[in-house]
Amino acid sequence: MSVIQYETPKKKKAWKIDVEAEMPDGTRVRLRKRRIPTQAQAKAMEAKFVADAYEGRHFERARTPKLTVRDLWEFWEPVTKSNNDSYKSDKGRAEHLLRHLGDREAMQLKNADVNEYREKRRKEVTVRGGAPMPATLNREIALLKRMYSHAVTYDRLPHSPIAKAPLLEEDNVRQRLFSDDERDRIVEAAGPFLGPMLLVYLETGMRKNELRVLKRDQLDMPGKAIRLTADDTKGDQGRAIPLSARAVEAIRSLPATIVGPYLFVNPKTRKPWSDPKRMLDRVCKRLGIEGLWLHDTRRTFTTLARRAGSPESEVMKVTGQKTRSVFDRYNITDEKDARAVVDRYEAAQAAAEDRRRQESQQDSGRTAVAGGSKEEDLKAT
């Protein structure tokens, strides 16, 4: 049997092909492919291979695939669409890519074409009234590279001709962090349902959707950790996220009136919050706090954890961040290292609070002494 079902290392069902066919000149050719999503696709691929071999077109097709950039997007779109956290932004970026490059043959694209695309985009005006920023153009090219990589993974293309296309230097790196005062005010003003969720964002550095749709069975309260499988993460790698004492307390403070599979829910709909970013914006507007984004919770955790002394590789293990040059090289940490990140983070926060408390007491003491001296002077007079 040439079409066979099997189980991937991630316990998912997939299909593979192992079939031979004969060319008109008697040459035997063989096709072996894995990780095909459905049986129908596998059978269609098998039939196409046999037909190409029978008509003598097997090697021609193998050498010169005729996929366009638009074809790559159509192949990638179902993947990103399954991740609600990234599909909206990917779709917007794809519109620009397809407008300029959609009809171009994928294997004919070169680094020079990427540069030409960026120059054309720089002449356009965004909804904010100016040219696209370097970060915006980098995200568009990064999407294009992901489309190529996905096609290569599933044997739609032999390789990516733009894999080494350089990105632009970004001079608009965001620096905004939550202050301790902003954290406390926002969590209190957000209420008993949303407040704990925002605090756990700050205490874990989790991505928006990882926490937004977190289920109770992903929570390990005895182990003080959140456990995500590969299917739960953007990077397709499961990880354990240790919880600080403050995060554990926030979770335990959730009202017991709402029951169901999800941990954080809107009490009005009894479903996960549809847009935590918008809810945070409303709370900040009510408090007069400007310039904070929900994603700044992730940046705040990462920055404070590093300042507390945690190595970058260990912080990445907790947050799920990945880069070829850093994370892959140091991806040897385990859950004990991840726990150490949160322990150091928690200890640093506690030490900072102690310092503030001591400074406040010292200020009060100096004020009291100064007041006493004035009273004694008045009596002497």
Contact criterion met (CB below 8 Å) for 106 and 67 = yes
Report how far residue 14's alpha carbon sits from residue 3's, in angstroms, rounded to the nearest whole number: 11
Q: Is the pTM of this model over 0.75?
A: no
Segment 157-185 shows an average pLDDT of 86
Tokens of 138: 């980098």
pLDDT bin (cut points 50, 70, 90) of residue 328 is: very low
Report how far residue 305's alpha carbon sits from residue 348's, in angstroms, rounded to the nearest whole number: 9
Q: What letter represents residue 363's amino acid?
A: D
Q: What letter represents residue 57's amino acid?
A: R
Contact criterion met (CB below 8 Å) for 199 and 183 = yes
Tokens of 320: 């799920």
pLDDT at 61 over 80: no
| Fold designation for 180-353 | hpI Integrase; Chain A (1.10.443)
Tokens of 244: 């600080």
How many CB atoms are located within 10 Å of the residue 135 CB?
Answer: 16
Angle at CA of residue 344, ends 339 and 349, nearest 5°: 125
Question: Closest Cα to residue 309, out of 345, 339, 357, 351?
Answer: 345
pLDDT at 261 over 70: yes
Q: Which residues pair with 215 in a beta bridge?
A: 262
Map out the domains of the chain as residue ranges.
3-63, 70-153, 180-353
Strand arrangement of the beta sheet that strand 13-22 belongs to: 3-7, 13-22, 28-36
Contact criterion met (CB below 8 Å) for 160 and 254 = no
Segment 11-23 shows an average pLDDT of 85
| pLDDT (tens digit per residue) in 84-120 | 567 888 999 999 999 999 999 999 999 999 999 999 9
Mean pLDDT across the chain: 85
Give the pLDDT score at 331.
33
Work out the percent of the chain whose per-residue pLDDT is above 90.
44
Give the pLDDT score at 325.
43
